[in-house]
């Protein structure tokens, strides 16, 4: 297992800086916070170097800014996720095919699959 890494230093300004409000990170959707936390945890566990991720994030942001349209607006955390996928693939942790297969599995689940709204037990 890789050696633990020093804490990542998030950019405050520039193309890799995450959205903030009053200095606090802003997540518009729950998946954004999970993607953020996953990247931080994997880096902290020594799975990848922060600078490698940062460079992938800068590239993903630049690509997204060029491709942004009214129908497909810019999403910082889509860039974050793309950068994470790229750094994990480059490091041999997971392949694009494995990521796509898992995404398809998750997309095939029924809406609300992982939420229990009535307080009962899950059947999975």
Q: Which residue has the tokens 């880096």?
A: 43
Cβ neighbours around 94 below 10 Å, total: 13
Between 62 and 106, the higher pLDDT residue: 62
Domain ranges of the chain: 49-108
Q: What is the pLDDT of residues 28-82, one digit of tens each?
A: 999 999 999 999 999 999 999 999 999 999 999 999 999 988 888 899 999 999 9
Global pTM value: 0.75
Burial 44-68 (b: 16+ CB within 10 A, else e): eeebbebeebbebbbbbbeebeeee
For residues 116 and 6, give the distance between their C-alpha atoms in angstroms, rounded to a whole number. 38
Q: Which residue has the tokens 């790229």?
A: 86
């Amino acid at each position: 297992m890789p050696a633990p890494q020093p804490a990542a230093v998030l950019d405050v300004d520039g193309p890799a800086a995450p959205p903030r409000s009053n200095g606090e990170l802003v997540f518009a959707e729950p998946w954004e916070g999970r993607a953020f936390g996953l990247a931080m945890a994997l880096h902290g566990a020594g799975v990848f170097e922060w600078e490698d991720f940062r460079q992938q994030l800068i590239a993903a942001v630049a690509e997204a800014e060029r491709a942004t349209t009214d129908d497909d607006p810019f999403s910082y955390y889509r860039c974050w996720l793309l950068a994470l996928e790229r750094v994990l693939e480059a490091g041999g942790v997971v392949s694009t095919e494995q990521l796509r297969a898992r995404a398809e599995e998750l997309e095939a689940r029924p809406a609300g699959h992982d939420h229990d709204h009535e307080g009962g037990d899950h059947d999975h």
